[in-house]
Amino acid sequence: MKICLIGAGNLATQLGLALAEKGHQLVQVWSRTQKSASELASKLNCPYTTEISLISSDTDIYIVAISDTALASVLSQRNWNDTLVVHTAGSTPMSILAPYCNNYGVFYPFQTFTITKKVEFDQIPVCIEANSPRNLNVLKELAQSISQNIKFIDSDQRQQIHLAAVFACNFVNHFYAIGEELLREKGIDFEILKPLILETASKITSQSPASSQTGPASRNDSIVIDKHLSMLTNHPDLKNLYKQISERIIQSHK
Amino acid sequence: MKICLIGAGNLATQLGLALAEKGHQLVQVWSRTQKSASELASKLNCPYTTEISLISSDTDIYIVAISDTALASVLSQRNWNDTLVVHTAGSTPMSILAPYCNNYGVFYPFQTFTITKKVEFDQIPVCIEANSPRNLNVLKELAQSISQNIKFIDSDQRQQIHLAAVFACNFVNHFYAIGEELLREKGIDFEILKPLILETASKITSQSPASSQTGPASRNDSIVIDKHLSMLTNHPDLKNLYKQISERIIQSHK
């Protein structure tokens, strides 16, 4: 397929690379900033523009991978005619595209992306939704060209999936960072936590996380919990989080 | 070495199996409950007892892997003579052993253990501490027989490591469970989150978590954050956590 990428951030970069690798023709990259547009275009070996009016019409699909806040503003500045337009946002309903396009949908690869880390798309769930069976079929074929894991997910479900991911991925990563910070205070290298972090994640492949909870709160070990709370006296925000999360774990083990 | 295991829980089980596999002689298992004592003893093909007075004296080391709350009570009920006694607890100082033993230390394999999931000890950090250089050397040799990753960690550092692990492992696992719970509410299988969870963990091997934070809070995307908060109206505790953690991420990205 001929694909025009609107956006050049983490998701646009990794998705663009995966699509190019599977033989799709990346016809153009648009980004508001010249630097990111040119960087991604050079990776994909295709032209780029920073002008919305100069976005190519010679494409089968526009994949709009920009921030939720910029979405409506960018979409409103151009006539998309009958070309299929999809956004890639977790928490934005498909209907946001309705005022601007005749053929539209959502193409949401459910993964965390960073510009510098290559991602294997093969097993990534790609959540798709479209305003017609014909458009859904186009998205299905596009998704199948990069992944074996296609999910038909409506806007309401996708929003919930995104919310679940904020807890299970974004907040989890922040808790890794908290661990790093606490170790640094005592001059201990973050390295020591890595096997534990990897094993904790790996456990979900064989056990439900609710049933495999470990740690002081799951044993309701008040001696250790109180000791940890006293160690967090200089971090009132962490002390608060520690209390609330431990309380949730204790309740869920009753 | 001849090893006597005091305790038969998650850690005792996995550590016992790893030590037996490396050719150590497990001489006996003690546990308060007959069921867990006999189950672990049968896995290790050794005798067991539930009587503290019947714990064998024919051993080179006692590895005490019981809850922090039970530690002092069990230790006080027997004369350990000059045999080396180690505990395996993260947040209990080595000095708790001083009133009961002449030779003592800490042997803390830094990993999350469940009875049913076999763990490869090879890369697990084993944190050791002892009351004399001679005892430390014994623990070093024992640790090296199961892992290539030995750390000399004092009680103060070990306590901090344990605290970091509560955030980066125990709380993380609870956040996986929250993700599972949120998906279940909309009839979505937890399966869809697994690639994301594994990738999020895998990223720490190549990037510092503080620098690879993604998600709405890292972009200060107030539209998505507000939408998520409104979706959590029926979960006031989760709404509270969402707010506090997002605020921490926003602050750390300023």
User: Does B235 score more than 90 pLDDT?
Assistant: yes
Question: What is the average pLDDT score of chain B?
Answer: 95
Q: Are residues A9 and A130 in the same domain?
A: yes
Structural domain containing residue B228: 158-252
Question: pLDDT digit of tens for each residue in chain A (254 aa)?
Answer: 999 999 999 999 999 999 999 999 999 999 999 999 999 999 999 999 999 999 999 999 999 999 888 999 999 999 999 999 999 999 999 999 999 999 999 999 999 887 777 888 998 999 999 999 999 999 999 999 999 999 999 999 999 999 999 999 999 999 999 999 999 999 999 999 999 999 999 999 999 999 999 999 998 989 899 999 999 999 999 999 999 999 999 999 88
Q: Are residues B21 and B142 in the same domain?
A: yes
User: Does B115 score more than 80 pLDDT?
Assistant: no
What's residue A118's pLDDT? 82
What's residue B253's pLDDT? 86
Chain B contacts of A213, Cβ < 8 Å?
A: 170, 173-174, 177
- What confidence tier does B224 reach under pLDDT thresholds 50, 70, 90? very high
Chain B contacts of A244, Cβ < 8 Å?
A: 237, 240-241
Minimal C-alpha gap between A51 and chain B (Å): 24
Give mean pLDDT, residues B19-36. 97
Q: Are residues A119 and A212 in the same domain?
A: no
Cross-strand bridge partners of residue A62: A4, A85
Q: Are residues B143 and B183 in the same domain?
A: no
Residues 22-51 in B contacting A (C-alpha not used; CB under 8 Å): none
Q: Are residues B126 and B194 in the same domain?
A: no
Q: Are residues B206 and B169 in the same domain?
A: yes
- What confidence tier does B117 reach under pLDDT thresholds 50, 70, 90? confident
Domain boundary residue among A95, A125, A153? A153
Q: How far apart, in whole angstroms, are the C-alpha atoms of residue A168 and residue A24?
A: 32
Any B CB within 8 A of A98 CB: no
Q: Are residues B145 and B166 in the same domain?
A: no
Q: Are residues A148 and A188 in the same domain?
A: no
Best residue in A214, A237, A246 for a mutation probing chain B (most B CBs within 10 Å): A214
- The nearest alpha carbon in chain A to B223 belongs to A69
Any B CB within 8 A of A208 CB: yes
Q: Are residues A26 and A148 in the same domain?
A: yes
- The nearest alpha carbon in chain A to B224 belongs to A91
Q: Are residues A43 and A109 in the same domain?
A: yes
Residues 156-185 in B contacting A (C-alpha not used; CB under 8 Å): 156-157, 159-183, 185
Tell me the CATH number at A60: 3.40.50.720
Chain B contacts of A217, Cβ < 8 Å?
A: 166, 170
CB atoms A193 and B164 under 8 Å: yes
Q: Give the position of tokens 């056990």.
A: A207
What's residue A34's pLDDT? 97
User: Does B251 score more than 80 pLDDT?
Assistant: yes
Q: Are residues A186 and A147 in the same domain?
A: no
Q: Are residues B37 and B117 in the same domain?
A: yes
Tell me the CATH number at A190: 1.10.1040.20
Q: DSSP letters of chain B?
A: -EEEEE--SHHHHHHHHHHHHTT-EEEEEE-SSHHHHHHHHHHHT--EES-GGG--S--SEEEE-S-HHHHHHHHTTS--TTSEEEE--SSS-GGGGTTT-SEEEEEEE-S--BTTB----TT--EEEEESSHHHHHHHHHHHHHH-S-EEE--HHHHHHHHHHHIIIIIIHHHHHHHHHHHHHHTT--GGGGHHHHHHHHHHTTTS-GGGG--STTTTT-HHHHHHHHHHTTT-HHHHHHHHHHHHHHHHHT-
The count of domains in chain B is: 2
What's residue B67's pLDDT? 85
Domain boundary residue among B133, B153, B173? B153
Any B CB within 8 A of A149 CB: yes
Domain boundary residue among A129, A153, A177? A153
